[in-house]
Amino acid sequence: MKYVQRCISVVVFMISFLGCVSCVSDVDFDQTQDVVFNQTVDASLIFFTLDTSDFESVDTQEATITVRDTTRLEFLNDDFIRENLREVTLDFQVDNSFGQSLVNRAAFLNSEGQEQLVVFFEITSSPDGSVQRTEFTEVLSEEDIQAIGNSIQLANEVILTTNGAPINGELSLQSKAIYKLEFSDL
Amino acid sequence: MRIILFIYIVFIATQLCAQNKQLLYNVDDLPQTLLSNPGAAISFEKHIGIPFFSGISFNAGSTGVSVYDIFQEGGDINTRIRDAIFRLDAKDAFVVNQQLELASFGWKSRFTNNYYSAGLYQETDVIAYFPKDIAVLAYEGNANYLNIPFQFSDVSVAAEVLSVYHFGINKEISKKWRVGARAKLYMSIANINSTDNEGVFITTTTPEGPNFLQHQVLNASITANTSGLRSIIDGDAGAGKAVGRAILSNNLGIGFDIGATHTIDDHWTATASIIDVGAIFHTKDLRNYRLSGSYETSGINLQFPDVLDGEELTDYWQNLEDEFEENIPYEDELENSYTTWRPTKFNASVNRGLGKNLNGDCDCTNSGVDRYATNVGIQLYGIKRPKSFQGAATMYIDRSWNRFLRTKMTYTYDAFSKKNVGVLISTKINKFNVYLAADNILDYSNLAKAQSASVQLGFQLLFDPE
């Protein structure tokens, strides 16, 4: 038994030695509170092509003709996105060969259909039927981002102002959003 | 996602080294050497381990960064995390291995001179590769990586808790050769395996339309197989059942170890072994998770229906969700059998004996084998992992100071560390043996800077030849 005690003493000594010489120092785990991840997500939004038939189907006797479609964008009012969204840039590009004056109006709506934010821009008209390109970028303000956070739908309208000339041509719109997200409070 | 990323960073940063027991290899008066080479030369003729205490080992390692690299005082932690994410690659791994001998014994046959050894040990083995592409996507988003694919194959994780019954024979077949083999019966307690994932996520610019960007998931095949966990998650099994599985599991496997020692001349010996050649067949208490398929979208294509003519509004968002789920279905109720291969290890060494021959000029009780007080040599180690082969090279000096004390000092070079110095101290008083081995001792002054470390200790009774 004396031998066992002696052996155990040796091991206890060795473990104690390792325990004494080993330590974890010069580190600060409280820094986890300072950890911030910055994500930039490039995501497609809506796209469409309109031609003469889309405008013929509505009442062309009015001075302006509006075509409209709506889609839900459910991620906009997601709590996780809303809490961490810091910057949004909307990019639009339109290729147009209509000769009339045109405006694109994108309205972000809440669940009751009320407009929270509207982004609109004029589309360059074509004097001779050739394709004219319009590029439009909107960087949303902090207030706009809050408005977008309350939204769940996007209603896009193309408003054509008649000028007496025949409505003839094609319009293609592309869009994307660049979301800058900042995650903290790990 | 951010929490998963954070856990990964901390895991990677806290890794210690894997499974290489360089300090116990070739130590001929410790029975544990038979577990890394069943054909090892041994100097005892019987051993009995103290149950639960004869072999306790824990080792773990990181090939990438240390805790200190991330959490050092001062400076900006976000810069350090970013540097770590971009410095690590998909072959950097977090590895943990733990073993506990529950029973261990062995004896030398009076009739055949063979040495038989047997026992039962429990083992935990975890390897998680750094999912580089997924981490970059989660950390930075896709905006700076247009037209660059993010590979799902970077996700590779394997974790196993098992117990192993083993029986080995060590036989001297000539004065030059000693060989050994060990049969193993694996009892899987719990297993997670997600190692053969495929597919990419890519955002491509599309100047020809129809929209600025196209988002694609191509040929995704992401599978996670589990066994032994479903009943625990469902609450049908507790700790008692896990202990029961350690003794007798429905998920069985078989395997073997082989090894040999070759005496080249009076002073030189060479050894080699292959450990854990085997597989486990998971057939019970299964749950598989699978996400597979391809899908691409350019966004929401508005159709501008003629509402005035009675056309209904299109629910684009719902269509998008439905199409995604239809093309990339997520299955979480599968119960498919699967097989996992054990991480096979390879050992080899060349040893040079120096100084006094402890067995004397002619030791008739040990077939005239030379045994020196001081040994120096080189050991090589390798382990087959899901993505690659991890290797290590060790130089050592091994010294038996007297009948009571033996030490071994090693320097190991591997992917985990370039300055790994380890020490073994083994004492034997009468028949009672205690050993303690630890590597990376240079980092013990500040373990936060260590990328790997391991500790092994045990208590046992050893009986020398009369």
pLDDT of residue B4: 44
Q: How far apart are CA B78 and CA B87, in angstroms?
A: 14
Measured between beta carbons, the chain B residues lying within 8 angstroms of A133 are none
CB atoms within 10 A of CB B163: 21
DSSP label at B20? Answer: -
- For A:37-96, CB contacts with B below 8 A are 37-50, 54, 57-58, 67-74, 91, 93
Contact yes or no for B299 and A54 at CB 8 A: no
Query: What is the reported pLDDT for B32?
Result: 95
CB contact under 8 A, B300 and A45: yes
Look at residue B365 in the predicted model and tell me its pLDDT: 47
CA A47 to chain B, closest CA, distance in angstroms equals 5
- For residue A21, the model assigns a pLDDT of 62
Q: Return left, alpha or beta for B293; rule: phi > 0 is left, psi -120 to 50 is alpha, else beta.
A: left
Q: Give the model's pLDDT for residue B239.
A: 67
**pLDDT for residue B8:** 43
pLDDT, tens only, A49-72: 999 988 876 655 668 899 999 999
Nearest of B89, B96, B70, B90 to residue B17 by alpha carbon: B96
Instruction: Residue A4: count other Cβ atoms within 10 Å of its Cβ.
Output: 16
Secondary structure (3-state) at B1:
coil
Would you call B436 and A15 a contact, using CB atoms and an 8 Å cutoff? yes
Inter-chain CB proximity B304 and A93 less than 8 Å: no
Nearest to A24 among B141, B211, B447 (CB): B447
Q: Which of B34, B69, B78 is nearest to B54 (CA)?
A: B34
pLDDT < 50 regions, chain B:
1-17, 363-366
Cα end-to-end span (Å), chain B: 64
B33's enclosing H/E stretch is: helix B33-36
Using the beta-carbon criterion (under 8 Å), do B141 and A36 form an inter-chain contact?
Answer: no
Assigned token pair, B465: 């030849």
Tell me whether residues A7 and B434 touch, CB distance under 8 A: yes
pLDDT for position A83:
85
CB atoms within 10 A of CB A34: 12
d(CA B86, CA B132): 8
Residue entry with tokens 């072959």: B91
Residue numbers of chain A with a pLDDT score lower than 70: 1-15, 17-22, 57-62, 185-186
ipTM: 0.87
CA distance B296 to chain A (A): 11
Q: Which residue on chain B is closest to A1 by alpha carbon?
A: B432
Residues near A146 by beta carbon (within 8 Å), at least 6 away in sequence? none
Chain A hits for B76, CB-CB cut-off 8 Å, are 34
Best to test chain B binding among A6, A20, A39 (most B CBs inside 10 Å): A39
Chain A from 16 to 35: CB within 8 A of any B CB: 18, 21-29, 31-32, 34-35
Backbone angles phi, psi at B240, to 5 degrees: -60, -40
DSSP string, A88-146: EEEEEEEEE---SEEEEEEEEE-TTS-EEEEEEEEEPPPSSS--EEEEEEEEPPHHHHH
Could you tell me the sign of the dihedral formed by the alpha carbons of A76, A80, A86, A91, in that order?
A: negative
